[in-house]
Amino acid sequence: MASLKIENLSVNAEDQPILKRLNLEIPQGEVHAIMGPNGTGKSTLAYTLMGHPRYIITRGRVTLNGTDLLALPPEDRSKQGVFLAFQYPVAVPGVTVANFLRTAINAHRKSKDPGDKGISILEFRNSLIEKMKLLQMDPSMAGRYLNEGFSGGEKKRVEILQMAMLEPRIAILDETDSGLDIDALRIVSEGINTLKNENLGILIITHYQRILDYLKPDVVHVMVDGRIIMTEGPGLANRIEKEGYEWLKGSESK
Ligand code: ADP
Ligand code: MG
């Protein structure tokens, strides 16, 4: 089974060890959740997987279907099919949502086939309209500058729209639920659910259980202090919601 495999990963930020020999495997076709207290290294993991230069890998391996991801620059990781939805998406003034998506799609196509002429305007438009409908987005959003002046909910929808258009093999969603009200959470979650398929592995990083009520992960991992300290079925999320993280802390040494 093809998968994203993280082995013994240790990462420093500003010379501080944040991730500590972390192990995790996300097979394509499965939904995994990482829960954990604030400051435990969840976003560090997401940024490290995308190749953010601030995070220094001191040990370990990350492979996607056997390809060494850590040897690749961020854009090539994306072309390999790794997608990251950021906790804090950045604004790109002057670049519309549609242009941004079209450029990204064409870069991916060209990496697979250097002779590719790019997606046709018509095909792109049809696909964009279909996916925006899925996420209950107003079509006018496509003409706005990426994330500029977007509400929290709009930013998250645009992140999931990117995911829908790029069709990644592994999607890492960092606190996609943060800043969403209940209706936006439901719409975004339903959008993600429609994207689930046997070729897509999803890693949803969250502080709260509520998004997991919609996404129904196959596996829940708990991260504390830069390590995965527990891995179980979806019932673990309910227990954390009721009891918090304190009861788990004894398991840290494992
Ligand atoms: P989480 O997403 O679980 O809340 P983070 O990965 O954002 O946790 O942060 C984990 C720890 O690493 C925190 O103590 C944070 O201050 C530290 N950290 C994260 N990024 C950096 C950075 N770029 N420079 C210095 N410290 C960082
Ligand atoms: Mg975070």
Question: DSSP labels for 123-173?
Answer: HHHHHHHHHHHHTT--GGGGGSEETTT--HHHHHHHHHHHHHHH--SEEEE
Better pLDDT: 4 or 234 = 4
pLDDT higher than threshold 60 for residue 21: yes
Which tokens in the block code for residue 159?
A: 């992140």
Q: Is the distance from the beta carbon of residue 32 to the nearest atom of ligand 1 less than 6 Å? A: no
Phi, psi of 52 (to 5 degrees): -65, 130
- Hey, is 95 helix, strand or coil? strand
pLDDT higher than threshold 90 for residue 42: yes
pLDDT of residue 18: 98
Better pLDDT: 91 or 254 = 91
pLDDT of residue 251: 66
* Interstrand relation of 3-13 and 67-68 (parallel, antiparallel or unpaired): unpaired
Whole-number Å distance between alpha carbons of 81 and 79: 5
Q: Is the distance from the beta carbon of residue 56 to the nearest atom of ligand 1 less than 6 Å? A: no
Q: Is the distance from the beta carbon of residue 18 to the nearest atom of ligand 1 less than 6 Å? A: yes
**What is the number of residues in the chain?**
254
Residue labelled with tokens 């930013």: 155
**What's the whole-number mean pLDDT along residues 190-205?**
95
pLDDT of residue 254: 45
* Residue ID of nearest Cα to ligand 1 atom 7: 43
**What's the whole-number mean pLDDT along residues 74-87?**
90
Whole-number Å distance between alpha carbons of 82 and 63: 11
Q: Which of 213, 225, 221 is nearest to 250 (CA)?
A: 225
**What's the whole-number mean pLDDT along residues 43-69?**
96
**What's the whole-number mean pLDDT along residues 66-91?**
91
Would you place residue 209 in the very low, low, confident or very high pLDDT band (cuts 50, 70, 90)? confident
pLDDT of residue 89: 85
151: Cβ contacts below 8 Å, ≥ 6 apart: none
pTM for the whole thing? Answer: 0.92
Q: Is the distance from the beta carbon of residue 15 to the nearest atom of ligand 1 less than 6 Å? A: no
Spell out where the chain has E strands: 3-13, 16-27, 31-35, 55-64, 67-68, 82-85, 92-96, 145-146, 170-174, 201-206, 219-224, 227-232
Q: Could you tell me what percent of the chain has a pLDDT over 70?
A: 98
- Nearest ligand, measured from the Cα of 227: 1
**What's the whole-number mean pLDDT along residues 96-119?**
94
pLDDT higher than threshold 90 for residue 162: yes
Residue among 14, 15, 44 whose CB has most ligand 1 atoms within 8 A, to mutate:
44
**What's the whole-number mean pLDDT along residues 104-119?**
94
Report how far ligand 1's centroid is from the alpha carbon of 11 (Å): 11
Q: Which atom of ligand 1 is nearest to the CA of 174?
A: 2
Report how far ligand 2's centroid is from the alpha carbon of 2 (Å): 27
pLDDT of residue 99: 95
**What's the whole-number mean pLDDT along residues 229-242?**
90
* Residue ID of nearest Cα to ligand 1 atom 27: 13
pLDDT higher than threshold 80 for residue 1: no
How many CA atoms does the CB half-sphere of 202 hold within 13 Å? 29
Whole-number Å distance between alpha carbons of 221 and 52: 23
- Hey, is 210 helix, strand or coil? helix
Mean residue pLDDT of the chain comes to 92
Better pLDDT: 86 or 12 = 12
pLDDT of residue 253: 45
